A and B are shown apart, each in its own frame.
Chain A
Amino acid sequence: MTHRKTAALLSIIPGMGQFYNKQFVKGFAFLILAACYFIAFLDFLNIGLWGIVTLGTEVPRDHSIFLLVNGVISILVVGIGLGFYSFNIYDAFQNGKKRDNGLKLSTLKEQYHNVVDKGFPYLMVGPGFLLLIFVVIFPIIFMLLLAFTNYNLYNSPPAKLVDWVGFKNFIEIFSLDIWRETFISVFAWTIIWTFTATTLQVSVGIFLAVVLNQKEIKFKGLIRTLLILPWAVPAFVSILIFSGLFNDTFGAINQSILAPFGIDSIPWMTDPFYTKIALIFIQSWLGFPFIMAMTTGVLQSIPGELYEAATVDGASNLDKFRKITLPMILFTTAPILITQYTFNFNNFNVIYLFNNGGPAVADQNAGGTDILISWIYNLTMTSAQYSKAAAVTVLLSLIIVSLALWQFRKTKSFKDEGMI
């Protein structure tokens, strides 16, 4: 049998393969690490894995949700353990291979340098990644699992146990009338909201930038500063101010702006249609300054000769805008415009802070202006439909992730030439 195979086989007990390769210090370190891992985690893993499979068997001893949390953490710990374990086998195999080929193995000192050298990127990524695992990745896995349980107001610990129910939540979202209709109407509004609000804020931003940057306009700096104010004021403050301004009975929009023109009070907060109009207006107000500022930058970089040449050719102002200005702007800012769409797709703040996703609508369990993300929030916080909320979260994430992967195929960040 070759050295590589023997070493890899012996490594089933961590460290043994290294001993076989006569790397005693390393082998010893691996053995100790493995022992520590088992001593420290065995009980925890035992309960954790049992818990995540059964979600508890006895009330009130077992609290299903805490068992689920511990279960997820156990899986993460097992994952780290398996990573270490496979490295141990891989290392023994590689060194065995060196011996098979008659090469000398690295000495202890070389090994040490190697570890420091190869380990440096892990050392740098480590702290951030650990944090990421606990505050971002762990919660997402937890929600993913929750979508397959029956956790809700009537079925919640410590009084009751939660059970795995497979795809029931997803099936119910699409088969029960109230859920299906709500999901479809919320999803439709999310799409409409994303497209109209974003397109409007982008068009207003570009339009104002073009108007402002005509060379005859005076006080450019002052006007730009004034127009950029909505971006400068924290958005939550502005949205809350708007919810006062749009108040049906007392708000200044109805009282001071529309009333003098003889227009009756418009039910901004109680009629879904008008709330939607108000929301789109508010988002345009909040979002156009960034687009305007960015477009201004692009406009200033378009060479003047282009316009002069166009003038010589007898192009009108409109022609120049359509054939030179607009394509230039869209070409340079396209990637940022896309992020504006994804931002509004998940724009919780404006929907929730303005009117709490409301007004309420009959025959569905979401407010009239709820988008997916605010619906999830309300399902969780108000109606305690935890598992349904998790299922909607999974659907939402699927949409987003497929978009992300599609975008990923086009990026260059993943090429890795010229690195250590």
Chain B
Amino acid sequence: MSIKTARRIRLTLSYLVLLSAIAIVIYPILWVIGSSFNPGNTLSSSTIIPENATLTHYKKLFAETDYLIWYWNTLKICFITMVLSVIFIGLTAYAFSRYKFVGRKNGLLLFLILQMIPQFVAILAIYILAYQVGLLDTHFALILVYVGGLIPMNTYLAKNYYDTIPKELDESARIDGAGHFRIFWQIILPLSKPILAVIALFSFISPFADFILASILISSDEKMTLAVGLFNMIKNEFGNSFTLFAAGSVLVAIPIGLLFLSLQRYFISGLTAGGTKG
């Protein structure tokens, strides 16, 4: 067998592998898009290429369900979580990276342990606490819980990044008379924009993808997030409103997917930085 034939076989096999991978990846996505245009309501009538494509489900989604409100709730919660997380995490990580203070080492150890215990193992306690302070069924409670849960892991991420910024910069600024906060604000902050962007991205996406905390803390229909709303839609009467669910999913997946694809290198760099150092 000549080298050329071997090469041809290898390439053909490679393309076959890639094509089948693409088929497996794309099938569920096309299927749900197809289903959302299907005239029927049920799962059984869902096909990848609808015979009489219709927009009914999209209209129904806006007219008869709280879909738009869920969408707005979710975006609002994600956005506020993102802003608060970046502020808290940026400050905390800076202190851990630059200052030697009593409790630093134990604090870091605590964060390391906390980031491994998933927050929602303590859902019962979170629920009771929210109940006692009267924050049950409010977005405020949800946001606080999200921000708190994001702190340990992302603080590490930011701290590791700050550690790579040379300390000589701070020192020379200090000699020039800059105060603590000014050094942070005018020197460290501009240099750490990339990692803060990554953290912002993570803290926007993770409340978006959360189902469990939102499903426990929020009970009224008009305060639900997309994950809970869509889950109820598919769970309550399985099969009966499947196409409606499909339409809802498509409208979630497309904007988030595009946002993700355009920012994917930040995700990769963020996740890689979190894992390799530490």
Which A residues have a C-beta under 8 Å from some C-beta of B?
A: 65-66, 69, 117-118, 120-122, 124-125, 127-129, 131-132, 134-140, 142-143, 146, 208, 211-212, 214, 216-217, 223, 225-238, 240-245, 247, 249-252, 255-256, 285, 290, 293-294, 297, 317, 332-333, 335-336, 338-339, 342, 346, 348-349, 352-353, 373, 376-377, 380-381, 386, 389-390, 393, 396-397, 400-401, 403-405, 407-408, 411-414, 416, 418-420
Q: A139-B125, A229-B25, A236-B211 are in contact. Are A208 and B261 (CB under 8 A)?
A: no
Task: Annotate B186-215 by CB proximity to A: 1 below 8 A, 0 otherwise.
Answer: 000000000000000000010011011000
Chain A residues positioned under 8 Å from B278 (CB to CB): 335, 411-413
Q: Are B88 and A232 in contact (CB under 8 A)?
A: no
- C-alpha gap A256/B47 in the complex (Å): 9
Q: Are A135 and B92 in contact (CB under 8 A)?
A: no
Q: A131-B151, A408-B112, A419-B98 are in contact. Are A66 and B132 (CB under 8 A)?
A: yes
Q: Are B129 and A211 in contact (CB under 8 A)?
A: no
Chain B residues positioned under 8 Å from A247 (CB to CB): 43, 238-239
Determine how close the nearest CB of chain B comes to the CB of A34; give it in whole angstroms. Answer: 20
Q: A121-B95, A125-B91, A226-B22 are in contact. Are A234 and B253 (CB under 8 A)?
A: yes
- C-alpha gap A65/B129 in the complex (Å): 10
- C-alpha gap A294/B257 in the complex (Å): 18
Q: A236-B230, A346-B118 are in contact. Are A131 and B148 (CB under 8 A)?
A: yes
A338 to chain B: closest residue by CB:
B275
Chain A residues positioned under 8 Å from B245 (CB to CB): 240, 244
- C-alpha gap A243/B238 in the complex (Å): 10
- What are the 4 tightest A-B residue pairs by CB atom distance, in nearest-first order? A139-B122, A135-B148, A336-B275, A139-B125
Chain B residues positioned under 8 Å from A241 (CB to CB): 28, 31-32, 246, 249
Q: Are A389 and B91 in contact (CB under 8 A)?
A: no
Which residue from A122, A339, A396 sits with its C-beta under 8 Å from B121?
A: A396
Q: A234-B252, A236-B227 are in contact. Are A131 and B234 (CB under 8 A)?
A: no
Q: Are A65 and B123 in contact (CB under 8 A)?
A: no
Determine how close the nearest CB of chain B comes to the CB of A307; give it in whole angstroms. Answer: 15
Q: A251-B43, A348-B212, A413-B160 are in contact. Are A336 and B276 (CB under 8 A)?
A: yes
A-B contact pairs, 7 of them (CB 8 A): A120-B99, A121-B99, A208-B21, A247-B239, A349-B212, A411-B278, A413-B160
Q: Are B112 and A226 in contact (CB under 8 A)?
A: no
Q: Are B14 and A146 in contact (CB under 8 A)?
A: no
